[in-house]
Amino acid sequence: MSTPKVILVTGGSGLVGQAMRHVLFDEKTELAFRAQPDEVWHFMASKEADLRSPEETEKLFEKYKPTHVVHLAALVGGLFKNMSHNLSFLRDNILINDNVLNTSHKTNVQKVISCLSTCVFPDGAGAPPDLYPLTEAKIHLGPPHSSNFGYSHAKRLVDVQNRAYKEQYGRNYTSAIPTNIFGPHDNYDLRDSHVIPGLMHKCYLAEKNGTVFQPAGSGRPLRQFIYSHDLAKVFIWMLRHYDDVEPLIVSVSEEQEVSIEYVVNKVVAAFQKNRAARNEAAGSDGQFRKPTSNAKLRAVLEKSGVNFEFTPFEQALQESVDWFVENYETARTGDVNQVSLL
151 is catalytic: yes
Considering 151, 188, 227, 242, which one is annotated as catalytic?
151
Q: ∠ CA 310-311-314 to the nearest 5 degrees?
A: 135
DSSP, collapsed to helix, strand or coil, labels residue 93 as helix
CA dist 133 and 138 (Å) reads: 9
Task: Answer for the pair 105, 169: CB distance below 8 angstroms, yes or no.
Answer: yes
Task: Answer for the pair 11, 17: CB distance below 8 angstroms, yes or no.
Answer: yes
**Helix 86-106 crosses helix 54-64 at what angle (to 10 degrees)?**
40
Task: Answer for the pair 215, 278: CB distance below 8 angstroms, yes or no.
Answer: yes
| Per-residue CA distances from 147 to 17, 161, 192, 268, 322 (Å) | 26, 24, 14, 28, 32
Residue from 218, 196, 221 nearest 282 by CA: 218
Catalytic site residues? Answer: 151
